[in-house]
Each structure stands twice: as structure tokens, then as C-alpha cells.
Structure 1
Amino acid sequence: MSRPIEKLENLLSKPHRIVVVCVLFSVFLFLLSACFIEVANFAYGLTLSLVMPIIISYPISLVVIGYTKKIKKQKQELAELDIINKKLFTLISHDIRSPMATLKGLVDSMAFNDFDRETEKEYLGRLSKHIANLDLFLTDLLQWSQDQIQGKPAKSSLFKCKETIVQIGGLFEAMLLEKQIDFTLGDLNGTIYADPRNYAFVVRNVLHNAIKFTPKKGSINVCLKTEGHEVHTIIKDSGVGLSKVEIDTIFEGEKLFTQLGTSEEKGTGFGLKASIDYLKKNKGRLSIESTPGKGTSVSIILPNSPLPA
């Protein structure tokens, strides 16, 4: 949209501004016509040129401005949906096609090769792990897309997060065993005030990243720490670590940070970016402390009680 049109829209964005413009235009036309045509009652004509535009233009301007705002809102919603659709297509093409190709390869190997019982068991285990990971990604993607499209607010409540963390740890059991990671749980006795589904989404994605970037026979520890009115869910790993530039990339703008895991695991960076958005909705934040080659400590920081309005 060109600047002159924007200026005109701003000028006519309030009913009284439209009325003033109409009145000035009406008076101008009356005075202009009075210069060439003799007016029997100048005062009466001038009064009409002042009053009539107010009576006519004010209600019309209210209706027009109402429709304009509605159209602008619909245009903004369509633009947001377009952005969501583009993200979804990017994620689907990147994060689903690759796992599907892996699944197809495993199924084809089992279908067209005569494996012994032990090898079949190994392939079925790998197949189960890949299906679980794909299901996890689809669950997160579905939750995120529904929340974005419907504009759902966070439904915060007080809850103990130990059960959530233990369940998510069990979800990644196959991945932890495959990489022989020493997964330990510290003190998990804490209460958080947040949306339980949002919290589970964030923990799931941060823990998945920790596993992804931790080498075989590494270690991951999860614990809670209370500081004032906040609870820190700390997920610490002995992985490859992050540089300051990489940490800045995670938090800055719309750019997604992604790199291959220690076992060539692929990703888009979607989960971490969505997690940061969810934490903002829950009046929380993410903190990352890391040194390249020495592991990473990610803190999911949320209130432990309702914050004052």
C-alpha cells in the first residue's frame, strides 16, 4: 500500500474526521457557488451546508469504518493463516517425508528379505522407535496448528510436574537405550502454574533435543529448582553444546535453528521455536547455558502461582 493511501486512511480513520472533511468540503462548494450564483438567503444556505453534512456523513462514516475494520481484521487473519500454512507445508515436507522414507526402507527390508528371528526382532524394534518419533512429531504439530488457528489462550492451573516428566522420559526410553544415555531424575517435587499441555509440549521438545545432541554413553539429568515465585525445570546434558551465536539464533526473530544430531538425526527447529512461544503465553521463558563440547543446560522457567493482573 502506497504512503499517500495510508495517510488518507489514517486521516479518515475516525468518524469525526470524516464529518469535518465533509463539512469543509460542503462549505467550500457553497461559498464557491455563492461567488457565481446569487443566493437569496446566504446565512440559511451556509447553515445548511454546515448541518446537512453532519447529519448525513456521521452515521454513514460509522458504518463504513466498521466494515473497514472488519475487512482489515479478516485480511490480517488470512495473512496469519497463510503463514501457518506455509510453515506446516515446510515442516511436513521436511520432517515427515524423511521418517516415512526410513519406515518404508525398514518395511521393504522385512518384506523382501528372509531374516532370522533375532534380526526380525531388531528390525521391529527400530520400526517401533521410528513410528513413536513420527507420532510424537505429528502430535506436537497438530497441537501447535490447532492453537494457532483457533487462537487458544493458555488454560493455566496449578499442577505437580513430576508425573509429566516421568511419562515423557518413558516415551523416549527406546532412544535413550539405543544411544546408551545415562538418564537420571533429580528432585522433581515442585508445583507449576501453567497450561499442562503446553508444559508437556515444551519438556518433550527440550528433552528430545537433549537426546538428539548427546553422544552415545552420554548423560542427561532432569530436576526442578525453585527460585522465588518461579520454578525452573532444568534439563542438563553432556552433549555437543552450543555457541553464543547459535543460542542467539534460537531466540532471535522467525529464523529456525537446526543442525544434525550426534547420530545424524534431522530436524527443523520448529519444536524449540514453538516452545518459546508457548512459554510466553504462560508468562514463562526459556534459558540456555551452554559451552561447545561441554554440554547444555536448558531451564524451562514458569511461575509457581498465579501472577497478579
Structure 2
Amino acid sequence: MKRESGLLHILARVLLVILALYLSWTAAFFITAAIYSRMSWAPHDLFAFLINATLGFFFFSIISMVVRRFIQPREQHFFTEMIDALKRISQGDFHINLDWDFGWRNGKPRRPHPYVQLVDGINDMVANLKAMEELREEFVSNVSHEIGSPLTSIIGFAKALKDENLDREQRDRYLTIIETECTRLSKLSDNLMKLAVLDSERHPFRPSPYRLDKQLISLILACEPQWEAKKIDMTVEADKVEVHADEDLMGQAWVNLLHNAIKFTPESGSISVSLSSNGDQAIVCIADTGLGIDEQDQQRIFERFYKTDKSRARTVGGSGLGLSIVHKITEMHSGSISVSSRVGEGTAFTVLLPLHQEAKKGSSNC
């Protein structure tokens, strides 16, 4: 269909040129005939033909110049505007939206002009660059905030330690705070490095068959000191399930989810971990009886640095990167993760993971 439309367009242009030539030659014929009649002169047929042809081409040139005079300024203005827009884009200005009326005639849409497609392409590029720039600015702002807060505490308490009148109890308390903040910075650095490596796809990705139920039970037992300290009732129901995945990467995902559940579950609360299979998928659900997550926050819970309660997250040392890492790892395995929660009743994260399908490394951002 596009090829036929293009051929018709070329044919129409050729017909217009031929018509212009015919009109020019016709005008030349009648003008020279009138001149010959007034001069009472009858030139040789060949000479008359050459004069008519030359005059006809002269008229055709004038018509072409007149038409070009009306068309070229529009095109020159378009290219000037486009070049200026590209210069602004190269300087980091993404608040640009080119508009051109090549696609309209008398208020009605017509066949798409190549210039219109070019403008649409530039506008789409600017919109994508603007979105990426906003994400970059938000990311830098979040990183600066997450790094700045513990550094401020460390500097403040380090200065306080210079006071020789401090008793041992105060000194030990200040040193504990400094140690805690340093640990927080170290975890933040580790998580940022993990995300950077996962995004760049340089992380070794080695899927292989292994027992997922054994992995989950092993990791839950490794976390026993944390949930025992809070007197949390841990319940595990795991069917025998074998998956084809990167065991190390999935281990990181389960650890993040388990630590997240333990952190936000109050003392004497409960956490349940279940594993089952349905068709060609493994289904892992980690549910807690914490404070829950508001519905509007659930839509952004997997965004980097997003925290549902920043003050509460700060008291438990959260950076807002753990769930982003889990989301990225599940996507790399062609799986998915979802959250279900009600405020005051707890939260449940459900991970769907392929069983036998060859795991592949995804490139989408979380």
C-alpha cells in the first residue's frame, strides 16, 4: 500500500511538470504567432520551433521560480527551527516540542509528509530524553540525600567525641551511632553497586537446575537470629520444586524479601513463607503481619529509593533499594513480583518464577 502511494505521488509530480511545460509551450506558441502576425513575417518552421521551445522553457523557468519562492521559505524556516531545536537539545534543554503543518491542508489531514515524520521522531526523542533526565535528577537527589544524612551524623558525633568531659557511656553511645551510620553507608554502596552491575548486564548470569525449596529453607534458617530476637512466629510450607535459575541471584532476592519482612514485622508478629508450583511456574509468597502498605504506595514500591514511610524506614536502616534489586532479578529470570497489602493487616510479596523455561537476561529497568 505504501509503495503504491509513493508511485502515485511520483506520477502526480511528473504529470504536473508535463502540464506546466505544455502550458508554457502553448503560451509561447500563441505569443510568437501574435508577434509574427503583427510583423507580417513567416519564419522557417525549424526556426519557429526553436523560438517557441526556447520561449516555452523560459516561461517554465519563471513558473518554477514563482512556485519555489512560495515553497522554499517554508522549508527554510522549518530547517532553521529544527537545527535550533537540535542545538538546544545538545545543550541539555529538553523542553522542546516542534510543531509543523506539513501534514494538514485547509484544516484537513493529508498524506503524511516526510517532514512530519521527522518532527514526530524528534519530539519522541526529546520526550524520552526528558524522562531520562528527570529520572537521573531524581536518582542523584536520592543518592545525595541518602549519603548526606549519615555523613552529617558521623561528622556531628565525631566532633562531639572531641569533648574530653564526656563520660564513657556517652562516648560509647556516640561511637555506636557512628558505627551504625557507617554500616548504613556501606550497605547503600553495596546496593548501588549491585544495581549498576545488573543494569549494565555485566553480572555473570549462570542459570542451572536446583531445588528451590531447599534454598528457601536454608536462607530462613540463616535469618533465625533476627526473627527469633523479635519473637516472630515463622511458618514455612514448601513443596518440592526444582527451578532453572541463577541460584546466587535468586538467593539475593529471597534474602532481601526475608529481611524486609523481618524489619517491618513488630515483635511477636508472624511471617509465613510458602512455595508451590502451578503449571510451568514456581510460586513463592512471603507474607508478614506488619503495618501494611497504602494502596497508592503499592504502585511505586519497586522504584529505586522509594519509601512508603521515610521516617519509619530510617529507623530500621532502609535505603529503598532492596525491592528494586528483587524486581530486577526476577525480570532477569523472565519472572514477576507483585505486592498485596492492607494497612494494619500486613503485606504479602508473591514471586512467579519459570520452572523449565530457559532463563534469560532481561534488559528492562526496574
Question: Shorter chain as normaliser: what TM range?
Answer: 0.5 to 0.7
1:142 to 184, 190, 193: 193
Say if 1:181 and 1:220, in contact at 8 Å, map to a contact too. Answer: no
Say if 1:256 and 1:273, in contact at 8 Å, map to a contact too. Answer: no
| CA deviation map 1:138-179 (0-9, x unaligned) | 332233244445698976443445558856986896xx4897
Structure 1 counterpart of 2:308, one-letter code = T
Question: After the TM superposition, which residues 244-283 of structure 1 pair with which residues of structure 2 at under 5 Å, given as runs?
Answer: 244-248=295-299, 250=301, 256=306, 258-260=308-310, 261=312, 264-265=315-316, 269-273=320-324, 275-283=326-334
Q: Could you tell me how far apart the structure 2 residues matched to 1:265 and 1:82 are?
A: 31
Structure 1 partner of 2:19: 31
Q: Could you tell me how far apart the structure 2 residues matched to 1:172 and 1:87 are?
A: 36
Query: How far off is 1:290 after superposition?
Result: 3.1
Structure 2 counterpart of 1:258, one-letter code = T
Say if 1:158 and 1:193, in contact at 8 Å, map to a contact too. Answer: yes
Q: How large is the Cα RMSD of the aligned pairs?
A: 5.0
| CA deviation map 1:241-288 (0-9, x unaligned) | 23445435548x999552143774475755435643543442222233
| CA deviation map 1:165-216 (0-9, x unaligned) | 856986896xx48973538574666443334565345334433432442234
Matched position secondary structure for 2:344? coil
Structure 1 unaligned runs (5+)? Answer: 1-10, 41-63
Structure 1 residues 21 and 77: alpha-carbon distance in aligned structure 2, compared to 1, 3 A threshold: same
Question: Relative contact order, CA 8 A, sep 6+: which one is greater?
Answer: 1
Question: After the TM superposition, which residues 75-90 of structure 1 pair with which residues of structure 2 at under 5 Å, given as runs?
Answer: 81-90=132-141
Q: Could you tell me how far apart the structure 2 residues matched to 1:255 and 1:138 are?
A: 13
1:182 to 207, 214, 232: 232
Structure 2 unaligned runs (5+)? Answer: 29-48, 50-113, 361-366
Q: Could you tell me how far apart the structure 2 residues matched to 1:151 and 1:35 are?
A: 69
Structure 2 counterpart of 1:213, one-letter code = F
Report the TM-score, using the length of structure 2 for normalisation: 0.52
> Radius of gyration: which is bigger?
2
Question: Would you say how many aligned residue pairs link Structure 1 and Structure 2?
Answer: 266
Q: Could you tell me how far apart the structure 2 residues matched to 1:34 and 1:183 are?
A: 95
Q: Could you tell me how far apart the structure 1 residues matched to 2:182 and 2:356 are?
A: 37
* Alignment partner of 1:131 is 2:182: yes
Query: How far off is 1:134 after superposition?
Result: 2.9
Query: How far off is 1:78 after superposition?
Result: 5.1
Structure 1 residues 27 and 108: alpha-carbon distance in aligned structure 2, compared to 1, 3 A threshold: farther
1:202 to 246, 253, 273: 253
Q: Could you tell me how far apart the structure 1 residues matched to 2:183 and 2:3 are?
A: 58
Report the TM-score, using the length of structure 1 for normalisation: 0.60
Say if 1:156 and 1:195, in contact at 8 Å, map to a contact too. Answer: yes
Q: Could you tell me how far apart the structure 2 residues matched to 1:78 and 1:172 are?
A: 46
Say if 1:240 and 1:294, in contact at 8 Å, map to a contact too. Answer: yes
Percentage identity across paired residues of the two chains = 21
Q: Could you tell me how far apart the structure 2 residues matched to 1:169 and 1:96 are?
A: 32
Structure 1 partner of 2:145: 94
Say if 1:212 and 1:262, in contact at 8 Å, map to a contact too. Answer: no
Structure 2 partner of 1:306: 357
Structure 1 partner of 2:346: 295
Q: Could you tell me how far apart the structure 1 residues matched to 2:11 and 2:283 are?
A: 62
Matched position secondary structure for 1:37? helix
Matched position secondary structure for 2:353? strand
Structure 1 partner of 2:90: none
Q: Could you tell me how far apart the structure 2 residues matched to 1:21 and 1:100 are?
A: 67
Query: How far off is 1:35 after superposition?
Result: 1.7
> Which stretch shifts more, 197-206 or 233-242?
197-206
Matched position secondary structure for 1:139? helix
Structure 1 partner of 2:266: 215
Structure 1 residues 148 and 110: alpha-carbon distance in aligned structure 2, compared to 1, 3 A threshold: same
